[in-house]
Amino acid sequence: MYHTAFLDLPHLATASGSVQLPGSKSISNRVLLLAALSQGTTVVHDVLDSDDTRVMLQALQQIGCVVEPAAVVAGQPLRITGIDGFLPNNARGQLFLGNAGTAMRPLTAALAVLGGNFEMTGVPRMYERPIGDLVDALRQLGCKIDYLKDEGFPPLKIGQPDFSQLGSESIKVRGDVSSQFLTSLLMALPLLATEQDITIEVIGELISKPYIHITLQLLARFGIAVKNDNWQRFTIAAGSRYQSPGDIHVEADASSASYFIALGALTTGANGQNGINVLGVGKDSIQGDIRFVEAAQAMGAVVQSGPNWLHISRGTWPLKAIDMDCNHIPDAAMTLGAMALFADGTTTLRNIASWRVKETDRIAAMANELRKLGATVQEGADYIRITPPASRSDWTAASIHTYDDHRIAMCFSLAAFNPAGLPVRIQDPQCVGKTFPDYFEAFFSVTQPSEPAPVICIDGPTASGKGTIAAIVAERLGYHLLDSGSLYRITGLAASRAGIELTEANAQAIADLVSSKVITFLPDQQVLLDGDDISLDIRTEQAGMNASQVATFPAVRQALLQVQRNFCRLPGLVGDGRDMGTTIFPDAPLKVYLTASVQCRAERRYKQLISKGLSANMADLIADLEARDARDINRAASPLKPAQDALHWDNSDSTIDEAVQQVLTWWEQRQPFAPVA
Ligand SMILES: Nc1ncnc2c1ncn2[C@@H]1O[C@H](COP(=O)(O)OP(=O)(O)OP(=O)(O)O)[C@@H](O)[C@H]1O
Ligand SMILES: Nc1ccn([C@H]2C[C@H](O)[C@@H](COP(=O)(O)O)O2)c(=O)n1
């Protein structure tokens, strides 16, 4: 997941390949709660690991469930031992539920019926998301729920219920604000339907029926039969008791599939490959958002499907504008809003009032951000109408505000395929953590830029601070990092270990040797050579001198050329070395030549070596630095020198932060985005 302040997507040209989607959020959180309420242990496979499931799992452990392991571990199922319909004595506490509607609402209902003493809290946006209709319905039953802040909204305090007045009348709940209210009652009331039937009656039109369909399907898996009378009355039979189904698999998220379905519809592939394969969800899905496929087809996508896979390719182009009632696919419909940017006219998405009370006011948010890109947008209480930019020149490079809403971030990634060749900036990309933490990694794995991904080159003499500055700049931008010096250090070390003398006569043998090695770069500057950890061995001054020696051999430089260029991948690269800007990435949009005085560099290197527990003395260091500088500058092959278009920075008197800021400022000056107001 990207934790950067923003993520710049370069202009993208083509897309092809396969994406394995993460588990569905809606199914994950329902299954987790049902398992928690059940008798027995449920083994849950493929649970989504995201912000919303994390808060749910934490809360379930607080109410007394045993969860093993305590959090989702990739590739491992979760074992949940439920409470069998009863809270432990004196169950109480504060449950923090972030911005997860799929946790706040069902847990409120279940705990209000079970009768714990809990405070239900979350992030500020959660306190703007209505829950009053659910609370009213629960109070009809005798549940005790108080508002801790604003009437009708979390945070809430749940106390002991009094069911002595419980009669045979049906429980009434509004169906036109959020289907999560009905889902919450459907999951909580089996706990009360031990001796009598319980009927829920929906007031107003029931929105998002597909989500109720998921709830009913999953209740059935946990042993609860519900009679559905025309989506207006739901009767839970007397004698209900949650029973673990044993093993259960969470299918992949159909809403998350929408971005890749759209991607297939928008793009052509490169190198003879065509289309996008979406794995983990297909035509047998129980999720309503799978019907996004029909909407995408209406806009021109060509879709083939199997039980749990989809293959999508471009059909009609430009896409066809549509006028569609999207009530059945409220979440995935946002993706249609992004697709509308590529349509042949005005697209209208109707019956989407629920967008206004989601993670943010999604109608307003989509309208604002689409306008930034150049679209003409009209919004109403329950609709949005989008006309794409009239021509290429009407597109603008936009910095997309994401409102802490994962779907806004994912939708607007598609705008990077604009016909104007513009990049797109996604602010706060980590908001995708709510449902699809590795969304951008998946997106980059199947997309290709129209130009090579952007590279920032930082060259300069030894100990000038290149490596330090490059690493921080890369981290701030979410870019890959190439420490090219380490490749020469590895080469020198490999040759020495193989007993090859570092002479010109052995240059080809050394080049062949390094080409035959498996070099692995791990986080935290860890480097493996054929599986051996050589991270410290390559950092000695001797290793630096050896590197400088082998770096004079053209055969070695040639062997490492493509290795270095292969580091240039989406979303971009920061490369540090001696010839990044002159030889390896001559077309890089930013080249920095970083220097510092010899005395200053020697002092820094001294401190660096001592802090690593390596021995050093200043006089030797100065001599070594000067010798290394001389060799690097005077060698014939790709000598150390500033590229003609490099910007120079002497950082003898600046801090690391100042140097980083300078590079980032230069980089920002090259971006087309308007400054954030
Ligand atoms: N502006 C700065 N102020 C103070 N210390 C710095 C500054 N820049 C870098 N340093 C420190 O100097 C040391 C050397 O920096 P670094 O290893 O990044 O240099 P380098 O140019 O990459 O060296 P080499 O080419 O040998 O790999 C590090 O300990 C780093 O923390
Ligand atoms: N692009 C590069 C990077 C490094 N070298 C050589 C010259 C250096 O003295 C040696 C070690 O580099 P360091 O890790 O200190 O940055 O490797 C080069 O020729 N070209």
- pLDDT (average), residues 605-621: 89
Helix locations, 168-300, DSSP H: 179-188, 209-221, 254-266, 292-299
5: Cβ below 6 Å to ligand 1? no
Among the atoms of ligand 1, which is closest to the Cα of residue 462? 25
Within 8-143, residue ranges assigned H as helices are 25-37, 51-62, 101-114, 132-141
Nearest ligand, measured from the Cα of 460: 1
Atom 29 (ligand 1): residue with closest C-alpha? 608
Q: What is the DSSP letter of 577?
A: E
Kindly indicate whether the ipTM for this predicted assembly is greater than 0.95, answering yes or no.
yes
Let me know if 672 is exposed, middle or buried by CB neighbors in 10 A (0-12, 13-18, 19+).
Answer: exposed
The ligand 2 atom at the shortest distance from the C-alpha of residue 584 is 1
Q: Is 28 in the pocket of ligand 2 (CB under 6 A)?
A: no
Q: How confident is the model over 207-212, as a mean pLDDT?
A: 84
Task: State in Å: Cα 385 to ligand 2 middle.
Answer: 56
Cα 312 to ligand 2 centroid, rounded to whole Å:
46
Q: Best substitution site from 604, 624, 625 to test ligand 1's pocket, by max atoms within 8 Å of Cβ?
A: 604
CA–CA distance, 212 with 437 (Å, rounded to integer): 26
Q: Concatenated DSSP letters for 80-98? A: EE--TT-PPTT-EEEEE-T
Q: Is the CB of 548 under 6 A from ligand 2?
A: yes
Provide the annotated active-site residues: 331
The rounded Å distance from CA 213 to ligand 1 centre is: 59
Task: Kindly report the average pLDDT of the chain as a whole number.
Answer: 95
Determine the pLDDT at residue 178.
Answer: 78
Q: Helix, strand or coil for residue 320?
A: coil
pLDDT at 402: 98
Instruction: Convert the pLDDT of each residue in 340-369 to its tens digit.
Output: 999 999 999 999 998 998 889 999 999 999
Please say whether the dihedral angle defined by the alpha carbons of residues 123, 128, 130 and 136, taken in this order, is positive or negative: positive
User: Which ligand number lies closest to the CA of residue 600?
Assistant: 1
What average pLDDT does range 236-253 have in this prediction?
94
pLDDT at 267 over 70: yes
**Is ligand 2 within 6 A of the CB of residue 551?**
yes
Is 180 marked as binding a ligand? yes
Name the token pair of 49: 């690991």
- Model confidence pLDDT, tens digit, residues 632-654: 999 898 999 999 999 999 999 99
Give mean pLDDT, residues 509-527: 93
**pLDDT (tens digit per residue) in 33-70:** 999 999 999 999 999 999 999 999 999 999 999 999 99
Length of the chain: 677
Task: Kindly tell me if the per-residue pLDDT of 675 is higher than 90.
Answer: no
pLDDT at 676: 58
Residue nearest to atom 23 of ligand 1 (CA): 463
Q: Which domains does the chain have, with CATH numbers?
A: 8-22+253-425+442-447 (3.65.10.10), 25-249 (3.65.10.10), 460-479+571-667 (3.40.50.300), 485-569 (3.40.50.300)
Q: Is the CB of 488 under 6 A from ligand 2?
A: yes
Task: Say how many Å lie between the CA of residue 664 and the centre of ligand 1.
Answer: 17
Report the pLDDT value the prediction gives residue 61, as an integer from 0 to 100: 96
Q: Is the pLDDT of residue 27 over 90?
A: yes
Contact 611 CB / ligand 1 (< 6 Å): no
pLDDT given for residue 604 in this prediction: 94
